Every structure is written in structure tokens, then in C-alpha cells.
């Protein structure tokens, strides 16, 4: 749960908090968005009667009918390319890529059209669409089911890229993404789909372009997003036992990057490390480290660290535990700093 | 989706010989070669003739301006007027067009101003016209990508119960792209009101059709998707107009998509930076010049007594006036604001972009680009 998660007055009146998974929160967000605006349509592979391979669209076709949510042919470029046309016509398509590594056939549509349409037309044509991408590993997926594609999208001007780490944010950020007039790449960390939190819906958390301090601390800022927020919190918990006070920042938004929140935290702690599952080389952590350093160099007592996956293709299920950043690795990395210097 | 109520498979093979209503000598064709399509009325043909003459003049003018260095690039459609205009003329004003870089004269036919069409080719901005006002998407450069946009838009219109059709142009080379396949398939499965017009101008830059496909015709591909396909003489505007009109009508009334192949030829180079002598023989170009779409219709209209000298003069004058206007706008320097670079990336303000904008503003104020001012164009 993010610190600022709040319920709207209407929800407080109606619903008592119930345990909700992130998948359930996303499902509720889609349902509420579709009910609120009939321009919101949902399609992708297996999103209809099956409810999506992660059941995020469970029950929606029964509720809204097959002209609001339907199974498309099996073709990712086709899904994104047709969504461009639908958004041009004023619909608000929310399309699903079944798994991160299967979004690559749509790369051209994403980069050449989704990202650039507003710009090439001087703002005359906008694309209010959301591309939902289940991402990252730690679910024992076989080859091509555990990629981390966030840097490809985040380094593409014109795309907004967000990744919630908990059910409350998942609900609130998806609603906001659907309401956005700009295209949003909405990345859903698969390993967090079944994480639970007590929630009274609808819930509105911080704006989706803001990072959040999810644990206060004085000595180190750990920056995570999506699946690694939990890793950061675990590391902070373990470090506290040894007398080290770690502050954890959940980025929530990868593009734009919230320099303000991150900067304020780093200036307070004077030390920062970023954690992600994707390979380190040229990865998102490089951007974080560079930005934090450029803007806060004189407040830093040590170089910004990256704790990331190895620079290898995502491993097989039985080997992924060796690859993924763990709390222990985070703590070991922090030990490489010269703390007395 | 339940929108496609009946699941009617389409098995008819397109004709082996291209459909035509006027032969190369401008005589009306009879019999099976017409595929059952009727010749449009004379008034319509006169209007199509006028549009082709004006478009040809525009195309020639822009090619000349490109050679003078006024444009960065221009992909000419000289010789393809019947495909471009025959197809576009079949659309109603509320229908949408999804064109490629090749289709500037189709844009002209839709009433878009020369300055706005050419803005991207001369390097001022990527897309200059109001897409919604003209129901014309930006000219797409990544091949076949726009076909999916056409499918999506026309499907959205159908979901909204708006009787709107989207027509998209593709080149013969573009039919090899995955997006062409995905567009054909999505359109057929969803039964969207989409018309695909493949302009088979024989070459993809330097690569001839036989290196793109083993299919007997590109229209044959329609069969595999379960939609009607038509193999049409693309230099016969009467046939292009008649076949496209029928496809638009079928799409509008819920009959789903159609694939039309117009067999034509690109007389000019691919763009100004291309050297066509490396990949095609002069005699082939001469052969196709003798099959000119404008001359063909002109012969017919003259033999019918429909095209008078007075009309011809009036049309030529209109074409010359447009050419003059095109020259004028292309020799006038556009006012460009470099700070606008940052204005249309996101709808919401972004701190990082505001910072970069301020940095560029400071550079400009400090005279960093003073020597470039005016010279960049
Ligand atoms: C996806 C993609 N690949 C390559 C290119 C480079 N390119 C531009 S035009 C062209 C040939 C296209 O030929 P065709 O589809 O027959 O259309 P034509 O130019 O003849 O109208 C190529 C290869 C491109 N624009 N897009």
C-alpha cells in the first residue's frame, strides 16, 4: 500500500475494505472505466470468455458484451495498429499484450505511430490509448514469458510508461491511464498480480507521474519500481535490524521520471541505489543513476549503485533465482560503499 | 465478434486479366473483361479527367521544384493518376483516407492545400494538414502500417454506427510486410468497412514484383483472407472508379472489406534520390508511357464528343493556376519556431522537456544559431 492511498467519499460510504489482489484491482479498474465511459473498449488475445491468461479481464465480456471487449486475431502489430485507428476516431482502446516478450512484433507501431502521432501532427491528432503489458519474471515462466522491456518504451519520446507495484496503485493508475489523452504503456509486474491488500474501491492514490516514498529512512535511498519495490522493502527491513535506516522510493512512473521526489530523498540520505530485474547494461537504472548524479552530485556521499539482472537473456525457470536481484544482493551492494569516507 | 452476423466465406478468384472498362485506345470494353462493371456516366468521367490533369500538373511541378532543391524529397505518382484518383473519387467526404508517401495527388484530390501536403517533404513539419477536417490521415512512411490504422478507424466507426468507410493505399512492395497481412486479416475477421487499394506500380524502389510474391496477382491474396479481391487495370480510371465505388458501397452497407489491385507503372524515379536506370530498361518505361491513363480517357471523351476545346482550355488553365500557386508557396520561406519542437510531444507538461526547451531558448537568445537563420531551408 502506498502511504497516500485514500478512498473517495462515495466509496467510503459504500464499501468496507476487502482483500484484493493486484489482478483483481486491475479488473475492477477496467470495469469501472468501461462503465464510466462507453468509448473505453478492450481487446487483445484471450481477453474475452477466458478473461485473459492472468484473468485481468475476467467477467468483463459477460458484463459489457462483445462489442466493448473481444478477442482479436493473434497479431500484436495488428492489435496496436488498429488501436491507433480506433483512438484516432475517438475511442479509448485498452489493449493487452499477452506477455512482455510478445509485444515485440508491435514495436514498429508503438515507436513509429503510437509514440509520435501527437508530435507529427502538431497536437491535432492524439491517441488516448493504453497498452497493458504483463512484465518481468519470478513466476517460473518459460522462455519469452519473463522479459523486462521497460527501457525500450521508456526511451521512446511520446510514450508515458508506468508500472504499479501494489493493488491500490494498480487500480488508481490504470483509471488515470485510461483517462489520459496520451498513450500510456501500462506495465504490470506479473509476480505482483497475486499480491493482496485491503482495499475499498474506488481508490485514488498519488498522480501516476509521481514517485512515492513508501518507507521513510535516513541513510540510503533505495529506488525500485514494480516487482523490485518489494525487494527494496525487504532489504530495508533487514538493514533496519542492523541499524541502517533505508528509505524506499517506488518510482511508479518510468517516463516521466519524478526528479523532484527522488531528488528530495537522495538529498536527505546522500546515498542512492536503484534496483531492477532487467539487464544492467543500458538499462533503466543507468538513466536513474545518471539523473540522480547530475542533479545531486554535491549531496552524494557515494556513487549511485545499480542492482540489476545480469546482462544475459532471461534464464530458464529453474535458474531465474540466480538472476533476479534479491534483498541480500542489495545489502551486499550497499556494503561496497566506503561508509566512513 | 457478433458484428459479423453471417460467416460467408469468399472463394471467387480474381480475374487473371485485369478488369477494364476502357482499352488503351480509349474504346469502351464489352464482355467478360469488364467483370460486370458498367462505365461511369460521362459527367463523372469528365470530372475524373479534370482531376487527373490537374494532379499530373501538380506532380510535374513538384518534381521540378524538388530538382531545384526546394523540397528535400518527393515521391512522384506520375502515371498512377488513375489508381490514385479513381479510388479516392469513390469516397464520400465523411470517409477516411489512409495514404502513403506516394499519394500526394490523392491528398490534392481531397482538397488539401499544396503547402500543407508538401510541408513534410520540404522538411518543415511532419504532417501539415488538419486530418480530421479532411478525413485524411498523415502520409505514412513505414510501409503498410497505415493499413492497420484504416482497419481500426473504420471498425471504430462501425462500433459507433457511423456509416464511414476507410480506404488505404499500399504499394506492391508493402504487401510483403507483416502489417499488410495483419490488416487484411483483421479487416476480414472483423468485417470492417475498409477498402485496400494496392497500387502495383511494378517496383518497390528497385525491386520488381516477382521478387515480392509468387502469387499470380496481388488481388489473389484476398481469397486467403476471405474477402473479395479485384485485379484491375490501374491505368483505366473508369475501371478503378467503378470497382472502388462498388467496394465502398459494399463496405458502407456492412458487407466488409475489399482488396483491389490496380496494375500500373511508376514513370518517374522512386524519389529524386533514386536512379531507375540501374534496374529498369528505358523501353519498358516507353511501353508504359504509351499506356498513359490520362490520354486513354481523353481519347474516349473526345471520341464521344464530350470533351470540348473550351473545356480543355479551362482545365489546362486551372492546372496552370495550381502549379503557379504551388511554385509560390514553395518559394516562400516558412516561419518555423524551433521552440515548438517541445510543444506536441505530450499533452501534459513535462518538467524535463520544459528544462530542455528553456535551454534551447537560451542558446537561441545567445545567438548560437544566428548563422543558420534562414539558411536551413
Ligand atoms: C517498414 C519499411 N521498410 C522499408 C522502408 C524503405 N522504403 C521506402 S519506400 C520502399 C519501397 C516501397 O515499395 P512499394 O510498397 O511497392 O511502394 P511504392 O514506393 O512503389 O509506391 C522502401 C523499401 C520503409 N519505408 N518502411
Q: Is the CB of B35 under 6 A from ligand 1?
A: no
pTM (whole model) above 0.90: yes
CB contact (8 A) between residue B185 and residue A78: yes
Say yes or no: A144 and A216 in one domain.
no
Say yes or no: A216 and A77 in one domain.
no
Residue B12: per-residue pLDDT? 72
Report residue A14's pLDDT band, with 50, 70 and 90 as the boundaries.
low
CATH code of residue A59: 3.40.50.970
Query: Which chain A residues in 47-76 lie under 8 Å from chain B, judged by CB atoms?
Result: 66-67, 70, 72-73, 75
Cα B169 to the center of its chain, rounded Å: 5
Say yes or no: A220 and A140 in one domain.
no
CA separation for the pair A278, A307 (Å, rounded): 10
Q: Is the CB of B122 under 6 A from ligand 1?
A: no
Segment A52-71 shows an average pLDDT of 96
Annotated active-site residue in A145, A276, A299, A323: A145
pLDDT in tens, chain B (377 residues): 444 444 555 657 888 899 999 999 999 999 999 999 999 999 999 999 999 999 999 999 999 999 999 999 999 999 999 999 999 999 999 999 999 999 999 999 999 999 999 999 999 999 989 999 999 999 999 999 999 999 999 999 999 999 999 999 999 999 999 999 999 999 999 999 999 999 999 999 999 999 999 999 999 999 999 999 999 999 999 999 999 999 999 999 999 999 999 999 999 999 988 999 999 999 999 999 999 999 999 999 999 999 999 999 999 999 999 999 999 999 888 889 999 999 999 999 999 999 999 999 999 999 999 876 554 44
Nearest to A81 by CA among B144, B347, B344: B144
Quick check: A20 pLDDT over 90? yes
CB contact (8 A) between residue A89 and residue B1: no
A58 contacts A52 by C-beta, under 8 angstroms: yes
Q: Which of A153, A171, A199 is the last residue of a domain?
A: A199
Q: Which of A141, A176, A199 is the last residue of a domain?
A: A199
| Alpha-carbon torsion, ordered A135, A138, A139, A140, to 10 deg | 120
Domains of chain A: total: 2
Top residue of A64, A76, A78 to mutate, by most chain B CBs within 10 Å, is: A78
Cis amide bond preceding B285, omega within 30: no
Segment A25-40 shows an average pLDDT of 98
Say yes or no: A309 and A218 in one domain.
yes
CATH code of residue A265: 3.40.50.920
Report residue A8's pLDDT band, with 50, 70 and 90 as the boundaries.
very low
Residue A1: inside a domain: no
CB contact (8 A) between residue A182 and residue B347: yes
Top residue of B127, B178, B182, B351 to mutate, by most chain A CBs within 10 Å, is: B182
Residue B272: per-residue pLDDT? 86
Q: What is the ipTM of this complex?
A: 0.90
Say yes or no: A75 and A170 in one domain.
yes
Domain interval for residue A247: 212-335
Predicted confidence (pLDDT) per residue in A193-208, tens digit? 999 999 999 999 999 9
Report residue A338's pLDDT band, with 50, 70 and 90 as the boundaries.
confident
Residue B370: per-residue pLDDT? 84
Sorted by sequence, the CB contacts under 8 Å of residue A328 that are 6+ apart come out as none
Q: Which of A199, A227, A254 is the last residue of a domain?
A: A199
For cell 503489458, name the residue: A133
Say yes or no: A137 and A228 in one domain.
no
Query: Is A145 one of the catalytic residues?
Result: yes
A66 contacts in chain B (CB < 8 Å): 1-2
Say yes or no: A280 and A316 in one domain.
yes
Residue A340: inside a domain: no
Say yes or no: A183 and A221 in one domain.
no
Residue A7: inside a domain: no
CB contact (8 A) between residue B142 and residue A85: no
| Closest ligand 1 atom number to CA of residue B270 | 19
Say yes or no: A225 and A153 in one domain.
no
Nearest to A306 by CA among A281, A270, A271, A275: A275
Sorted by sequence, the CB contacts under 8 Å of residue B218 that are 6+ apart come out as B172, B175, B198, B200, B209, B231, B259, B261
Quick check: A1 pLDDT over 80? no
Predicted confidence (pLDDT) per residue in A137-190, tens digit? 998 888 889 899 999 999 999 999 999 999 999 999 999 999 999 999 999 999
Residue A142: inside a domain: yes
Say yes or no: A150 and A30 in one domain.
yes
Amino acid at each position: 500500500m502506498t502511504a497516500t492511498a485514500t478512498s473517495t467519499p462515495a466509496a467510503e460510504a459504500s464499501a468496507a475494505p476487502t482483500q484484493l489482489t493486484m489482478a483483481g484491482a486491475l479488473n475492477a479498474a477496467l470495469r469501472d472505466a468501461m462503465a464510466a465511459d462507453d468509448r473505453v473498449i478492450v481487446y487483445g488475445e484471450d481477453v474475452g470468455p477466458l478473461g485473459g491468461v492472468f484473468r485481468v479481464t475476467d467477467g468483463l465480456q459477460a458484463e459489457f458484451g462483445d462489442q466493448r471487449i473481444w478477442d482479436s486475431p493473434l497479431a500484436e502489430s495488428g492489435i496496436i495498429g488498429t488501436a491507433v485507428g480506433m483512438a484516432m476516431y475517438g475511442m479509448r482502446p485498452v489493449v493487452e499484450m499477452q506477455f512482455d516478450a510478445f509485444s515485440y512484433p508491435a514495436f514498429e507501431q508503438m515507436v513509429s505511430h503510437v509514440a509520435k502521432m501527437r508530435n507529427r501532427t502538431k497536437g491535432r491528432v492524439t491517441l488516448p490509448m493504453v497498452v497493458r503489458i504483463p512484465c518481468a519474471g519470478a513466476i517460473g515462466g518459460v522462455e519469452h514469458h519473463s522479459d523486462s522491456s521497460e527501457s525500450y518504451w521508456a526511451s521512446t519520446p511520446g510514450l508515458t510508461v508506468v508500472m504499479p507495484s501494489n493493488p491500490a496503485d494498480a487500480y488508481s493508475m490504470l483509471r488515470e491511464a485510461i483517462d489520459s489523452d496520451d498513450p500510456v504503456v501500462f506495465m504490470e509486474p506479473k509476480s505482483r498480480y497475486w499480491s493482496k491488500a485491503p482495499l475499498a474501491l474506488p481508490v485514488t492514490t498519488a498522480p501516476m507521474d509521481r514517485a512515492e516514498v513508501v518507507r521513510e529512512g535516513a541513510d540510503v535511498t533505495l529506488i525500485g519500481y514494480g516487482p523490485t519495490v518489494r525487494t527494496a522493502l525487504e532489504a530495508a527491513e533487514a538493514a533496519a535490524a542492523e541499524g541502517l535506516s533505508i528509505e524506499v522510493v517506488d518510482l511508479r512512473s518510468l517516463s516521466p521520471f519524478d526528479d523532484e521526489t527522488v531528488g528530495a530523498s537522495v538529498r536527505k540520505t546522500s546515498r542512492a541505489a536503484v534496483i531492477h530485474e532487467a539487464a544492467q547494461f543500458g538499462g533503466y537504472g543507468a538513466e536513474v543513476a545518471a539523473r540522480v548524479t547530475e542533479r545531486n552530485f554535491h549531496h552524494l556521499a557515494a556513487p549511485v549503485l545499480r542492482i540489476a539482472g545480469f546482462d544475459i537473456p532471461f534464464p530458464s525457470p529453474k535458474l531465474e533465482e540466480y538472476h533476479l536481484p534479491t534483498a541480500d544482493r542489495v545489502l551486499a551492494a550497499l556494503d561496497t560503499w566506503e561508509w566512513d569516507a | 465478434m457478433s458484428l459479423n452476423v453471417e460467416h460467408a466465406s469468399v472463394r471467387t478468384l480474381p480475374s487473371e486479366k485485369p478488369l477494364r472498362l476502357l482499352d488503351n485506345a480509349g474504346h469502351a470494353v464489352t464482355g467478360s473483361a469488364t467483370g460486370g462493371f458498367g462505365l461511369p456516366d460521362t459527367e463523372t468521367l469528365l470530372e475524373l479527367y479534370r482531376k487527373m490533369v490537374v494532379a499530373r500538373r501538380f506532380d510535374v511541378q513538384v518534381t521540378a521544384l524538388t530538382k531545384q532543391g526546394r523540397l528535400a524529397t518527393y515521391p512522384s505518382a506520375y502515371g498512377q493518376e488513375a489508381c490514385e484518383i479513381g479510388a479516392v473519387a469513390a469516397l464520400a467526404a465523411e470517409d477516411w483516407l489512409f495514404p502513403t508517401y506516394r499519394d500526394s495527388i490523392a491528398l490534392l484530390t481531397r482538397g488539401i492545400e499544396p503547402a500543407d501536403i508538401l510541408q513534410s517533404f520540404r522538411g518543415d513539419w511532419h504532417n501539415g494538414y488538419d486530418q480530421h477536417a479532411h478525413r485524411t490521415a498523415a502520409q505514412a512512411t513505414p510501409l503498410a502500417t497505415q493499413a492497420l490504422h484504416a482497419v481500426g478507424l473504420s471498425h471504430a466507426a462501425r462500433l459507433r454506427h457511423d456509416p464511414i468507410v476507410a480506404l488505404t493505399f499500399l504499394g506492391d512492395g508493402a504487401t510483403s510486410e507483416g502489417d499488410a497481412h495483419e490488416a487484411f486479416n483483421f479487416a476480414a475477421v472483423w468485417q470492417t468497412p475498409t477498402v485496400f487499394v494496392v497500387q502495383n506500380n511494378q517496383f518497390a524502389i528497385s525491386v520488381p514484383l516477382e521478387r515480392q510474391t509468387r502469387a499470380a496477382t496481388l488481388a489473389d491474396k484476398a481469397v486467403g483472407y476471405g474477402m473479395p479481391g479485384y485485379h484491375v487495370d490501374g491505368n483505366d480510371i473508369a475501371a478503378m472508379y467503378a470497382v472502388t465505388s462498388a467496394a465502398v458501397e459494399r463496405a458502407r452497407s456492412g458487407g466488409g472489406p475489399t482488396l483491389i489491385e490496380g496494375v500500373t507503372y511508376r514513370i518517374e524515379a522512386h524519389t529524386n534520390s533514386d536512379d531507375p536506370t540501374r534496374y529498369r530498361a528505358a523501353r519498358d518505361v516507353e511501353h508504359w508511357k504509351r499506356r498513359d491513363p490520362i490520354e486513354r480517357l481523353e481519347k474516349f471523351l473526345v471520341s464521344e464528343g464530350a470533351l470540348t476545346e473550351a473545356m480543355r482550355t479551362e482545365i489546362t488553365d486551372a492546372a496552370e493556376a495550381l502549379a503557379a500557386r504551388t511554385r509560390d508557396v514553395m518559394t516562400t520561406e516558412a516561419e518555423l519556431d524551433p521552440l515548438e519542437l517541445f510543444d506536441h510531444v505530450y499533452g501534459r507538461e513535462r518538467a524535463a522537456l520544459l528544462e530542455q526547451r528553456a535551454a534551447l531558448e537560451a542558446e537561441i537568445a545567445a545567438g548560437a544559431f544566428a548563422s543558420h537563420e534562414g539558411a536551413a531551408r
